[in-house]
């Protein structure tokens, strides 16, 4: 799986699942390769801790679920609901999932496509 190229890798949240992702060397390798090749990664809820734990977000501004904030050491924390810093898009949790998804659409397909998608979703956007 790590030999494949992905347009985007998105990690879901949840504490147990996030711990599994963080311990899986294959996942870490995929994330390293994804970012090294200039392709984006998204992480929501507790998942941004995986990026931080493995040194994949040094100096980057990220956000995460408020209960996970203390686990972030190498990245700058934001209280924003969704944050994009370069190739990383992070979000706080289930209540921010639509905004997160729209930010990923914008990253991959551009603002016009994101606005088109949002005509049916009706989310509040910047």
pLDDT in tens, 58-81: 999 999 999 999 999 999 999 999
Q: Is residue 61 part of a domain?
A: yes
Number of domains in the chain: 1
| Domain limits for position 42 | 9-117
Active-site positions read 45
Q: Is residue 112 part of a domain?
A: yes
CATH of the domain at 73: 3.40.50.880
Token pair recorded at residue 61: 């501004």
> pTM for the complete prediction?
0.95
Cα distance between residue 75 and residue 78, in whole Å: 10
Q: Is residue 3 part of a domain?
A: no
Q: In the chain, which stretches have pLDDT less than 50?
A: none
Q: What are the counts of helices (DSSP H) followed by strands (DSSP E) for the chain?
A: 5, 6
Q: Is residue 125 part of a domain?
A: no
């Amino acid at each position: 799986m790590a030999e494949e190229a992905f347009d985007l890798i998105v990690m879901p949240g949840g504490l147990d699942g996030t711990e599994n992702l963080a311990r899986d060397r294959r996942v870490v390798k995929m994330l390293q390769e994804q970012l090294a090749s200039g392709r984006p990664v998204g992480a929501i809820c507790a998942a941004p801790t995986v990026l931080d734990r493995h040194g994949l977000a040094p100096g980057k501004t990220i956000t995460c679920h408020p209960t996970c904030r203390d686990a972030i050491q190498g990245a700058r924390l934001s209280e924003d609901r969704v944050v994009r810093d370069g190739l990383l898009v992070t979000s706080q949790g289930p209540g921010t999932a639509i905004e997160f998804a729209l930010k990923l659409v914008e990253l991959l397909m551009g603002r016009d496509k994101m606005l088109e998608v949002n005509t049916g979703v009706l989310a509040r956007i910047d």
